[in-house]
Homo-oligomer: A and B are copies of this chain.
């Protein structure tokens, strides 16, 4: 069987890629061992601290990157400084807009993140060679489109209370890439300011709604960031 053969011939697979999330669920899963080996020659693993800028709006892109750990915040800024977070990326998403000379968003490490940098030409060469890879990239784009549209409903039609509940639910269901089940305990990867920019609310309104959820027993909070959700269904009910 193919899958067994693959495991037996694990030595074909670059060491760094062997346990890599991107190979199992991310775009590298589309590559055969030779392609993976060729790609691994030009990739580079880097760790970024929370707050570091990864990609600036309207700046030329030199690299794509697989998100291996942590959360990346994608945002757009109006001339007068108003900011909107337009997406979050979790492992094993591919970071960077394919087939564009420059980014249309800015990307920032929301938490500490590990990235696998892929030089732009390396990925684009592979994309022309592998229809399977291009297909996976398209599927990610379609998934991000679905997520963006879901979020538009939250931004346009939900109350502040529903927005905050929706955000917490989103994090619970996405924070752990290896786990299919939502998490009941997690660290918030975003500051209150970031949450506000994601939800189209002020920092104060976010804080008040979190306090309310806490008072109502829907969530527990330890320190500022550590959240426990005793009953996910109850949180889900608050999402509108």
* Chain A interfacial positions (CB closer than 8 Å to B): 74, 76, 78-80, 82-84, 86-87, 97-100, 104-105, 131, 134-135, 137-139, 141-142, 144-146, 148-153, 155-158, 197-200, 240
B153 touching A156 by the CB < 8 A rule? no
User: In the complex, which of the residues A83, A97, A157 has the most CB atoms of chain B within 10 Å of its own CB atom?
Assistant: A157
A105 touching B149 by the CB < 8 A rule? yes
Main secondary structure of the interface of A (DSSP, over half): helix
Chain B residues with Cβ under 8 A from A99's Cβ? 138-139, 142
Chain B residues with Cβ under 8 A from A148's Cβ? 145, 148-149, 152
CB nearest to A98 among chain B residues:
B142
Chain B residues with Cβ under 8 A from A74's Cβ? 149
CB nearest to A97 among chain B residues:
B142
Chain B residues with Cβ under 8 A from A78's Cβ? 153, 157-158, 240
Chain B residues with Cβ under 8 A from A150's Cβ? 76
Chain B residues with Cβ under 8 A from A153's Cβ? 76, 78, 84, 86
Report which of B84, B97, B156, B158 forms a contact with A157, defined as CB distance below 8 A: B84
A197-B157 Cα distance, complex, nearest whole Å: 8
